[in-house]
Amino acid sequence: AIAKDPRYVFVRGDINDRALVESLLRQHKPRAIVHFAAESHVDRSIYGPGDFVQTNIVGTFNLLEAARAYLGESTAAAREQFRFLHVSTDEVYGSLAADSPPATEAFPYAPSSPYSASKAAADHLVRAYCCTYGFPAIITNCSNNYGPRQFPEKLIPLVTLNALAGKPLPVYGDGLNIRDWLYVTDHCEALRVVLARGRIGETYNIGGNSEKTNLDVVKTICATLDELRPNPLIPHHSSPITHYSSLITFVKDRPGHDRRYALDASKIRDQLGWQPHARFESGIRETVAWYLAQGDWVAGIMSGEYRKWVEKQYGVRD
Ligand code: DAU
């Protein structure tokens, strides 16, 4: 939708390519960097932690250094205005007990996967740059995002697309792990608010106010599909599927699987006036409906590298 907007430029590059990052900063003179670039999938980090160290830790370091050099060459007015918004995760706080209050920004860090450890390390670097160099950064820690266009390695699109193909819906362990689900547009809105009004050196939690067990999430997707795409005829199945939930399959648990994440997002609500709007049931409905309508997009990303990942992931698990 924005491809023709003159304010938009897409450059495909690596945040570890310092020369490229520095030349882009010089060329475009941005007022802010919103740092989303990360290896983000926990299962992938278990198979290959090296990429997570490289992108999430070393890549963040490179971006910080490039931005610091850029600010050094900028005018005082530009320096004053500039913000580096580092987008992080609730996983840095580690697994919460069932009766623990949600994590505030003051919670100690206790990451358990190579992914969350790499994000925690990056957060520490960003914080250190604020303290040491007066670098104008702000950190946000969000809960589980969902919505249209999410890559189907993540639970919600994976389950939706597997169900439509009549494939098993893999639920790790007992399915009772809890995540707090944040609709993607709510997250984007929160980031805009933080960019506009957040205070340098501060951290803001961004949560969805929607704690669910994985089994609840998968069942909600199945019920939504029962309604939107009932009784599908699936190739290689002898009879139509009457309830998508019949495809639910419990599989071996993820190693080091965090039991519960939950965020206390009252700071961003009280100080910056943001809170999530989406209700989980309507968010899921919009998401599932989007995947139902986007055959071409799905076909495009389900080939190539993604197929290799699924084979690796399920090959090992089988
Ligand atoms: O909490 C925020 C984090 O949410 C982000 O920082 C991560 O980048 C993002 O990947 C996500 O991490 P999770 O590990 O929670 O997301 P994922 O979609 O992989 O899994 C959600 C839950 O569902 C988790 O408890 C594992 C479970 N799961 C996942 C998959 C892929 C299954 O039961 N079966 C599956 O096949």
**Over the stretch 137-163, which tens digit does the pLDDT of each residue have?**
999 999 999 999 999 999 999 999 999
Predicted pLDDT at 293: 94
Predicted pLDDT at 313: 78
**279 Cα to the center of ligand 1, angstroms:** 19
Percent of the chain scoring above 90 in pLDDT: 87
Pair 122, 86: CB distance under 8 Å:
yes
**Probe ligand 1: pick from 39, 143, 172, max atoms within 8 Å of CB?**
172
Locate 153 and state its tokens. 């390695």
Q: What is the DSSP letter of 58?
A: I
Task: Give the global pTM.
Answer: 0.95
Pair 173, 122: CB distance under 8 Å:
no
The single residue of 70, 93, 105, 115 carrying the catalytic annotation is 115
List all residues whose CB is within 6 A of at least one atom of ligand 1: 40-42, 89-91, 143-144, 154-155, 158, 170-172, 177, 179, 214, 254, 261
Pair 153, 306: CB distance under 8 Å:
yes
Q: Give which of 312, 318, 315, 250 is closest to 47, Cα–Cα.
A: 312
- Alpha-carbon distances, residue 309 vs 48, 113, 202, 296, 316 (angstroms): 12, 19, 37, 20, 11
**180 Cα to the center of ligand 1, angstroms:** 11
- Residue 289, judged by CB atoms within 10 A of its CB (0-12, 13-18, 19+), counts as middle
What's the CA angle centered on 255, arms 250 and 257, to 5 degrees?
A: 75
Mean of the pLDDT values across residues 87-99? 98
Pair 205, 138: CB distance under 8 Å:
no
Predicted pLDDT at 318: 44
Q: What is the bridge-based pairing of β-strands 178-183 and 83-89?
A: unpaired
Which backbone phi and psi does 214 adopt, to 5 degrees?
A: -60, -40
Q: How far apart are CA 24 and CA 39, in angstroms?
A: 22
**Over the stretch 293-309, which tens digit does the pLDDT of each residue have?**
987 888 888 777 777 88
Predicted pLDDT at 190: 98
**267 Cα to the center of ligand 1, angstroms:** 25
Locate 79 and state its tokens. 């320096």
Q: Which atom of ligand 1 is nearest to the CA of 169?
A: 36
Residue with the two structure tokens 């690796």? 312
- Residue 19, judged by CB atoms within 10 A of its CB (0-12, 13-18, 19+), counts as exposed
Q: How far apart are CA 152 and CA 161, in angstroms?
A: 8
90 is catalytic: yes
Locate 281 and state its tokens. 């049931």
204 is catalytic: no
The single residue of 91, 180, 211, 258 carrying the catalytic annotation is 91
